[in-house]
Amino acid sequence: MSGLTIEGVTKKFDNITAVEDVNLHFKTGEMTCFLGPSGCGKTTLLRMIAGLEVPTTGKISLEGCDLTRVPVHQRDIGMVFQSFALFPHLSVGENITYSMRIRGHSRSDREDRARELLDMMHLPGVEDRRISQLSGGQRQRVAIARALAINPQVFLLDEPMSALDANLREAMQIELRKLQQELGITTVVVTHDQTEAMTIADEIVVMGNAKVLQTGTPMDIYKKPVDKFVAGFIGTSNLLPARMAGKDMVRVGETELKVGHVVGAGTGADQDILLMTRPEEVFVRPTDAGVPENAVHGTVSFVRDIGATIEILVDCDGHEVISVLTPKDWPDVRIGDAVTVEMPAEACTVLPA
Amino acid sequence: MQQGNSFTRSIGLIPSSVMIGVFFLVPFVLIILTSVSVPSDEGDYQFGFSLVHFERFATWFYIERAFFSAGLCALIALLSLLIAYPFTYMLTRFGPRSQTLWLIYILAQLSLSEVLIAFSWQILLSRTGGIGNILAWVGLAESSFAMTPSAGAVLAALVYLAVPFSVLLLFPALSRLDRSLTEASRTLGASPLRTFFTVVIPVTRPAIISSGVTIFVLTLGAIIVPQVLGKPEHWTLSVLITDQAIFNFNMPFASALAVVLLIISGGVIVAVTKFSGGRS
């Protein structure tokens, strides 16, 4: 099978299970993000792909070759560490071509490659500087250049943006994505930042408590999360407790709503479920505008107008529903007004409670 | 604000400055004065200025002793680093519990006096003692033999003294070494051994140099081990100083030798600092 494959991988440290029975396949040339809260095992999984940890059970293979027991230095990988891990005793150029020096490339080859990589990373002319003379953003570019120096088959990044400030982070996300697409290299990024994952990934692997919770394209995961954990982790979600009332119908309090998407387990007839909607897909209407189809009743509890968007918080039987609108849809409601919240069927997802 | 701070800081420095002044600077000045003193009719010597004791040093016998001392101590520094560095590197990879136990054991080692260690090695290396008999028993030697007094015995005992110091001097730098640096090196294709030589050693170079210099200076002052385990031709400058001061009552010449010793240590420290400061 082409690409990188993880089969039944479990990692235990003493009696703590860091990664439990993970099965994943990474297509060649795609970018995958491991997304999850800290301590969910995503870094351990990445380190097992790198070979820095050995799985307790399971198998990791690349293009059909079993990598599980291959030592780190014999794997064809490039890795960017959270702290960048640049060698303080070497110059920028020597850092970038360290892997070539290890493999015995000539000095002139190494110097040419260092220049080429620095040009690619928009950092020309710094090869003779010391690492301590570089800014955080420059260090990250050098770390990426170093990992790519020998054109590895797999490119791994462990929380690559966490050491950068917010503005730089967004610019680097876009740059990293462009670079990856240009090189067409199989890439795995670990992050706890959902915006970052949505920006750069072809495929997101959401992890929690040592397990893979959901795998899919960013939009798949955003629109059809499998449970409330994933829904809460990716974007903002409104969760209303409800009960199944027939096929594609749920009952919220006294109101019946049609739903567009029902997630498998725990959602049979008459079962308690959660009705999930995204803030930008629900609309607040004043009660005097008539009762739209598929709507719940509530009271406005807060209005946050930040110019580009308006957020309206509605209290529906003690549960908060957020609606994010653009100014042109502004329903002109005030705190304390009774309103209806329209939830179009295709915007409603049923999740197990 | 700034001035008030520096004022309080100066007050805080007074006790330690007085201590250092009284107990280090004054004796130091006295030694220098004694080393250039002139003979006197009423006592052994009186303060004055004469280089006669330094002229006595400037004979081949004493110059050769100085080179021998410096060479021996450099060799000891090198050997103890060769033993202590890999050990300390492994130690930093152990769990915190075994690290603590090892460090306590090494500290306990330091509490043994030089005298005790010198005589223990004398017994260990004697004809009737341990090692000779073991060698004879396993058949590596025809019969047990004495390995002391000899230069090798001096070297072994001084290295034994220096290794715990080296470990303690290297430990902070090696335990602070960022683990991700060695991991990065591994992902870039370097084997563990290659990583050790191309990353671990260069990154901790300042600590290696400073502990090497410290060991050099420390062993330069050792007097008992060379005396107990060495022949007179293995005596270092420090032994000769003791000899002059205690047995020949020649304080001025002992002081002159001490000044020479000080110049050697000082010279090594300055040279090494300059040399190692060159790149950064």
Higher pLDDT, B147 or A278: A278
Residue B240 identity: L
Put simply, whether B184 touches A (Cβ < 8 Å) is yes
Closest CA–CA distance from residue B194 to any residue of chain A (Å)? 8
Cβ contact A85–B202 (<8 Å) = no
pLDDT at residue A128, as a whole number: 92
Measured between alpha carbons, how far apart are the two ends of chain B, in Å? 34
pLDDT at residue B129, as a whole number: 74
Cβ contact A98–B188 (<8 Å) = yes
Q: What is the mean pLDDT of residues A216-238?
A: 87
Instruction: Pick the range with the lowest mean pLDDT from A23-37, A103-117, B5-19.
Output: B5-19
Place of tokens 């004065």: B33
CA atoms within 13 A on the CB side of B213: 18
Put simply, whether B178 touches A (Cβ < 8 Å) is yes
Please state the φ and ψ torsions of residue A305, each to the nearest 5 degrees.
-105, 105
A89, A117, A153, best to mutate vs chain B, most B CBs in 10 Å: A89
Kindly report the length of chain A: 353
Q: Are B179 and B199 in contact (CB under 8 A)?
A: no
Q: What percent of chain A has pLDDT over 90?
A: 49
Put simply, whether A147 touches B (Cβ < 8 Å) is yes
Cα–Cα distance, A110 to A91 (Å, whole number)? 13
Number of Cβ within a 10 Å radius of residue A235: 16
Cβ contact A73–B189 (<8 Å) = yes
Low-confidence ranges of chain B (pLDDT < 70): 1-5, 141, 143-144, 277-280
Of B203, B184, B200, nearest to A147 by C-alpha is B184
Place of tokens 């309090």: A253
A13, A87, A129, A155, best to mutate vs chain B, most B CBs in 10 Å: A87
Q: Are A66 and A59 in contact (CB under 8 A)?
A: yes
Q: Are A26 and A198 in contact (CB under 8 A)?
A: no
Put simply, whether A219 touches B (Cβ < 8 Å) is no
Cα–Cα distance, B136 to B41 (Å, whole number)? 60
Facing residue for A85 by CB, picked from B180, B190, B191: B180
Q: What is the mean pLDDT of residues A294-299?
A: 88
Residue A293: is its pLDDT beyond 50?
Answer: yes
Of A202, A209, A200, nearest to A160 by C-alpha is A200
Give the pTM: 0.80
Facing residue for A83 by CB, picked from B180, B199, B205: B180
Q: What is residue A278's DSSP assignment?
A: -
Q: Which residues contact A305 (CB under 8 A, 6 or more apart)?
A: A311
Q: Are A191 and A197 in contact (CB under 8 A)?
A: yes
Joined together, the tokens standing for residue A161 give 């943006």
Q: Among positive and negative, which fits the CA dihedral A332, A335, A337, A340?
A: positive
Cβ contact A98–B185 (<8 Å) = yes
Q: Work out the burial of residue A130: count CB atoms within 10 Å of its CB; fewer than 13 is exposed, 13-18 middle, 19 or more buried.
A: middle
Cβ contact B191–A50 (<8 Å) = no
Measured between alpha carbons, how far apart are the two ends of chain A, in Å? 38
Closest CA–CA distance from residue B49 to any residue of chain A (Å)? 50
For A316-340, give the secondary structure using H, E and C. Answer: ECCEEEEEEECHHHCCCCCCCCEEE
A102, A133, A159, A188, best to mutate vs chain B, most B CBs in 10 Å: A102
pLDDT at residue A143, as a whole number: 95
Assign A233 to helix, strand or coil: helix
Instruction: Pick the range with the lowest mean pLDDT from A76-85, A97-106, B53-62.
Output: B53-62
Domains of chain A, earliest start first = 4-228 (3.40.50.300), 237-352 (2.40.50.100)
pLDDT at residue B280, as a whole number: 40
Q: How far is CA B274 from the centre of its chain?
A: 20
Put simply, whether A131 touches B (Cβ < 8 Å) is no
- Pairing type for strands A255-258 and A249-252 reads antiparallel
ipTM of the complex: 0.83
Put simply, whether B198 touches A (Cβ < 8 Å) is yes
Residues of chain B contacting A87 with CB distance shorter than 8 Å = 181, 184-185, 199, 202-203
Cβ contact A81–B190 (<8 Å) = no
Average pLDDT, chain A: 89
**Inter-helix orientation angle B205-220/B151-176, to 10°:** 150
pLDDT at residue B144, as a whole number: 66
Q: Which residues contact A132 (CB under 8 A, 6 or more apart)?
A: A88
Assign A312 to helix, strand or coil: strand
Using CA atoms, how far residue A216 sits from A9, A198, A219, in Å, is 19, 11, 8
pLDDT at residue A100, as a whole number: 94
pLDDT tens per residue across span A163-215: 888 888 888 899 999 999 999 999 999 998 888 999 899 999 999 889 999 99
Shortest CA distance from B190: residue in chain A = A73
Joined together, the tokens standing for residue A225 give 């999360």
What does the buried/exposed string (b/e) look like for A192-224 if buried means 16 or more CB atoms within 10 Å of the residue's CB?
A: bebebbbbbbbbbbbbbebebbbbbebeebbbb
Residues of chain A contacting B202 with CB distance shorter than 8 Å = 87, 89-90
pLDDT tens per residue across span A252-275: 887 888 888 777 666 677 788 888
pLDDT at residue A259, as a whole number: 84
pLDDT at residue B279, as a whole number: 46
Domains of chain B, earliest start first = 62-252 (1.10.3720.10)
Cα–Cα distance, B251 to B27 (Å, whole number)? 13
Q: Are B236 and B222 in contact (CB under 8 A)?
A: yes
Q: Are A353 and A303 in contact (CB under 8 A)?
A: no
Cα–Cα distance, B95 to B76 (Å, whole number)? 30
Put simply, whether B176 touches A (Cβ < 8 Å) is no
Cα–Cα distance, B177 to A278 (Å, whole number)? 47
Closest CA–CA distance from residue A103 to any residue of chain B (Å)? 8
pLDDT at residue B62, as a whole number: 85
Q: What are the E-state strand segments in A220-337? A: 238-244, 249-252, 255-258, 261-262, 272-277, 283-286, 295-305, 310-316, 319-325
H helices of chain B, in order, are: 2-20, 26-35, 52-57, 60-93, 96-110, 114-124, 130-138, 151-176, 179-187, 192-195, 201-203, 205-220, 224-229, 237-242, 251-277
Residue A1: is its pLDDT beyond 60?
Answer: no
The DSSP result for A48-78, as a single string, is HHHTSS--SEEEEEETTEE-TTS-GGGS-EE
